[in-house]
Amino acid sequence: MASAKTKLRLQERVPLPRTAWKLADLAVLFLLLALLARRASSLVAAGGAGAAPACTWCWVAALICEAWFTVVWLLNMNAKWNPVRFDTHPERLAERTDELPAVDMFVTTADPKLEPPLVTVNTVLSLLALDYPAGKLSCYVSDDGCSAVTCYALREAAEFAKLWVPFCKKHGVKVRAPFVYFSERGGAAADDDDDVVEFLRAWTSMKNEYEELVRRIENAEEYSLVRRADGEFAEFVGADRRNHPTIIKVLWDSSNQDAAGDGIPSLVYVSREKSPTQNHHFKAGAMNVLTRVSGVVTNAPIMLNVDCDMFANNPQVALHAMCLLLGFDDDVHSGFVQAPQKFYGALKDDPFGNQLQVIFEKVVSGVAGIQGIYYCGTGCFHRRKVMYGVPPDNAAATTTSMKDSPSYKELQNRFGRSNELIESARSIISGDMFRIRTPTVVVPDLTSRIEAAKQVSACSYETGTSWGQEVGWVYGSMTEDVLTGQRIHAAGWRSAILNPDPPAFLGGAPTGGPASLTQYKRWATGLLEILLSRHNPILLSAFKRLDFRQCVAYLVIDVWPVRAPFEVCYALLGPYCIIANHSFLPKVTASEPGFLILLVLFLGYNVYNLGEYKDCRLSVRAWWNNHRMQRIVSSSAWLLAFLTVVLKTLGLSETVFEVTRKEQKSSSDGGADADDADPGRFTFDSSPVFVPPTALTMLSIVAVAVGAWRLVAGAGEEGVSGGSGVGELVCCGWLVLCFWPFVRGLVGGRGSYSIPWSVRLKAALLVAAFVHLSTRK
């Protein structure tokens, strides 16, 4: 009986063996501690011998930085220690279709220029065509750009979906984002299709329909749309993206079809109200508006959120998610279900270090074995009751009044003054989360709910409520996803990782220097905001229900921007010591144990990281690209994020949300535009983010030149007694290699491949100031 019961499980939690890697973790940790001990003992001995103050200062700075690197290593060890995976069995849901919960799907877009409407349309079409009862799916698109073109594109997509969705389900299409499907040479082939001629005719017709859809969307103009005679887009007349009333349009209503039918899911366009006098809280605010709007319209117990460029790559992704949401004995173990971020059309060998494959396979899989995977902001299935702040069944007694029988006044204080939202919240909090109600009873007509939806999407609706704090996506950070996930885990919920084959969702990774560093800067800014707030994981672990190891796992990413000053300081020690003729490294002698420890640590650490990349089926080139990007990002995006948050904390600046440009590429072209000569080469603009790494590159080149001249001319005789030596020269040479894209940008680039002269001038002034201070007696 036990065996039969096990075979019927919807999911299995499988621990992954990691013995050899644990031994390697400990070996590197031992070397780090040995280096700290050796450096500390050398400082004590040097102090007793009356060493030069400048030399002592260098060694103290190095000791502090190396101590920090040891802490970071410990944080990563904890995160990687117990990796797990979850195997899901969606085929076992075949006889449980009636038990499947409804799902509200959220797609967010913010700028029609940086996030083209065609990208959003492909994501929406892939979601509408999921293998899931259409009557139990509804798709909501949040347009923070308030663009008539985006709304028009979605309306056209709804019409195209009437052809696309039946075609996909009839022919078993595997990838249901049209731009991918029609770009693949194998697209014109279907499994289990006996009538090839009929299929090819249908395929050709569908491809022509899609090309016509693309033509209409790309030729659409804002000006002509809002002035059409039929007035369909009259609400967009005079609307400014930062100042406009709520616009909600039901583009397709499936509420009258059978819940288990094979029709088209509902599609709703939402552009929330904006006012210059109100704080809109970026993406977190948009997600909370979608949560409230869907709450008064369809009120599905499960919510899926994806970015506009993150299409559903696996048509059964919702069924895989339900295996985790329904497959545990209690809800606690699946407060949310997160799919790791993966990318389509990715450039070979990850030249910009933003595909994050090793992080997701090593760190995130390890975190999944503690209290659960991080919430990554896209590709995540949420329980609505969890987002409403409902604690798990075994929550502390102080919260049971909310869970058991919330009064109308409690719900009003928590969710706002909308009667419709209060009633829907009451049903979610006290009802059976996985029993679908007949849509014709709950929502007879979606258009009849538009006025209620507009009420809850007003920019002043949240005043005096718990939205953004205890309810919904949490405010206070540009990385609202990490902050919200921390709140959920701190309440006692766990999360599960969703990693089916093929991958659940695929998105586009930014290319070029500006887009990549903009993304890293935004992430780092939000993470440091979390670390300096009352929501930081240390406080959540001390006073709430965040597991200690989960707290430490959150610190792995929360400290990204804090790493910048330590890594930049350590990078500056080499050039400083060469220019000032001091030393911060043990001498290169066979009898010096400090040198041997440092050499073995350097080689061991890099071999360890290379081994991780090979274990993830990546090339040596990919390892090197990510290694050098780590150095570039820490001295640019992370450093500026650190300074930005410090200035904000002092009241001298405000953080600004920067949207990363989305580019749609077919999977057949390797992610490169046909007319782009070198898509993997680093590009530059005049942003301040490029000034620090450019200055560090110039400084390293100067230091290598000075150090090499000293060695050749024999001017380093005093190196025996404390001057710079081979170790410092090697460090500077290694920096030049790591910053090679900037070297090319200085001496061999044209156009966007060349560092702008404004950046060069600012960097040169910083270098001149550093050299002047280094040579002062």
Residue range 204-232, pLDDT digits in tens: 999 999 999 999 999 999 888 887 756 78
**Choosing from 104, 111, 143, 144, which is the catalytic residue?**
144
Domain boundaries, the chain: 25-81+544-658+680-775, 90-184+203-341+376-509
Cα(372)–Cα(380) distance, rounded to whole angstroms? 13
Q: What digits encode the pLDDT tens for the residues 497-507? A: 999 999 999 99
pLDDT higher than 60, residue 373 = yes
On whether the CB atoms of residues 112 and 218 are closer than 8 A, the answer is: no
- Asked whether residue 283 is marked as a ligand-binding residue, the answer is yes
pLDDT higher than 70, residue 333 = yes
Q: What is the DSSP string of 533-558?
A: STT-HHHHHHHSS--HHHHHHHHHHH
Could you tell me the sign of the dihedral formed by the alpha carbons of 404, 408, 413, 414, in that order? positive
Q: Which CATH superfamily does the domain covering 90-184+203-341+376-509 fall into?
A: Spore Coat Polysaccharide Biosynthesis Protein SpsA; Chain A (3.90.550.10)
Q: Pull the structure tokens for residue 734.
A: 């290694």
**Mean pLDDT for the chain overall:** 88
Distances (CA, A) of 744 to 159, 350, 694: 49, 18, 11
Provide the CA 375 distance to its chain's centre, in angstroms. Answer: 9
Distances (CA, A) of 451 to 275, 395, 411, 458: 19, 36, 20, 11
Cα(361)–Cα(14) distance, rounded to whole angstroms? 14
pLDDT higher than 50, residue 671 = no
What band does 542 get if pLDDT is binned at 50, 70 and 90?
Answer: very high
Q: What digits encode the pLDDT tens for the residues 102-130? A: 999 999 999 899 899 999 999 999 999 99
On whether the CB atoms of residues 668 and 660 are closer than 8 A, the answer is: no
Cα(213)–Cα(335) distance, rounded to whole angstroms? 39
Sheet holding 247-252, edge to edge: 247-252, 266-271, 137-143, 103-109, 302-307, 380-383, 336-338, 495-497
% of the chain with per-residue pLDDT over 70: 86
Cα(486)–Cα(749) distance, rounded to whole angstroms? 44
Please list the alpha-helical segments (H only) found in 248-304: 282-297
- The reply to whether 25 belongs to the active site is no
On whether the CB atoms of residues 367 and 550 are closer than 8 A, the answer is: yes
Cα(259)–Cα(261) distance, rounded to whole angstroms? 6
- Asked whether residue 501 is marked as a ligand-binding residue, the answer is no
Q: What is the pLDDT of residue 769?
A: 96
- Asked whether residue 192 is marked as a ligand-binding residue, the answer is no
Q: What digits encode the pLDDT tens for the residues 732-775? A: 999 999 999 999 999 977 888 999 999 999 999 999 999 999 88
pLDDT higher than 50, residue 776 = yes
Cα(343)–Cα(356) distance, rounded to whole angstroms? 10
Q: What is the pLDDT of residue 345?
A: 83
Q: Pull the structure tokens for residue 458.
A: 């007003």
Q: What is the pLDDT of residue 749?
A: 75
What band does 718 get if pLDDT is binned at 50, 70 and 90?
Answer: very low
% of the chain with per-residue pLDDT over 90: 70
Residue 461: φ, ψ to 5°: -65, -35
Cα(692)–Cα(696) distance, rounded to whole angstroms? 6
Cβ burial, residue 258 (10 Å; 0-12/13-18/19+): middle
The single residue listed with the structure tokens 């080689």 is 603
722: left (phi over 0), alpha (psi -120 to 50) or beta: left
Q: What is the pLDDT of residue 1?
A: 38
Q: Pull the structure tokens for residue 159.
A: 């019409």
With b for 16 or more beta-carbon neighbours within 10 A and e for fewer, the 41-66 pattern comes to: ebbeeeeeeebeebbeebbebbbebb
- In angstroms, the first-to-last Cα distance of the chain is 83
Q: Pull the structure tokens for residue 588.
A: 């290169």
What band does 660 get if pLDDT is binned at 50, 70 and 90?
Answer: low
Q: How many residues does the chain have?
A: 777
Residue 554: φ, ψ to 5°: -65, -35
What band does 398 get if pLDDT is binned at 50, 70 and 90?
Answer: very low
Mean pLDDT score, 578-594: 80
Mean pLDDT score, 294-300: 96
- Asked whether residue 777 is marked as a ligand-binding residue, the answer is no
Residues 6+ positions from 589 with CB-CB distance below 8 Å: 595
Mean pLDDT score, 517-528: 93
Q: What is the DSSP string of 540-608?
A: HHHHSS--HHHHHHHHHHHTHHHHHHHHHHHHHHHHHHHHHT---S--S-TT-HHHHHHHHHHHHHHHH
Distances (CA, A) of 496 to 180, 428, 637: 28, 21, 31
How many secondary structure helices (H) and strands (E) does the chain include?
Answer: 30, 12
The single residue listed with the structure tokens 């019409």 is 159
The one-letter amino acid code at 53 reads: P
**Choosing from 111, 253, 481, 558, which is the catalytic residue?**
481
Under DSSP, the state recorded for 327 is: S
pLDDT higher than 60, residue 442 = no
Comparing CA positions, the residue from 103, 139, 98, 102 lying closest to residue 122 is 139
Q: Pull the structure tokens for residue 501.
A: 């084959």
Report the range out of 213-227, 662-676, 709-723 with the highest average pLDDT: 213-227
Q: What is the DSSP string of 130-142?
A: -SS-GGGEEEEEE
Could you tell me the sign of the dihedral formed by the alpha carbons of 256, 261, 263, 267, in that order? positive
Q: What is the DSSP string of 380-440?
A: EEEEHHHHTTPPPTT--GGGHHHHH---HHHHHHHH-S-HHHHHHHHHHHHS-TT-PPPHH
pLDDT higher than 70, residue 202 = yes
- The reply to whether 195 belongs to the active site is no
Comparing CA positions, the residue from 168, 413, 141 lying closest to residue 290 is 141
Q: What digits encode the pLDDT tens for the residues 49-91? A: 554 445 788 899 999 999 999 999 999 999 999 999 999 999 9
Q: Kind of pairing, strands 137-143 and 103-109?
A: parallel
Range with the lowest mean pLDDT among 178-187, 202-211, 504-513? Answer: 178-187
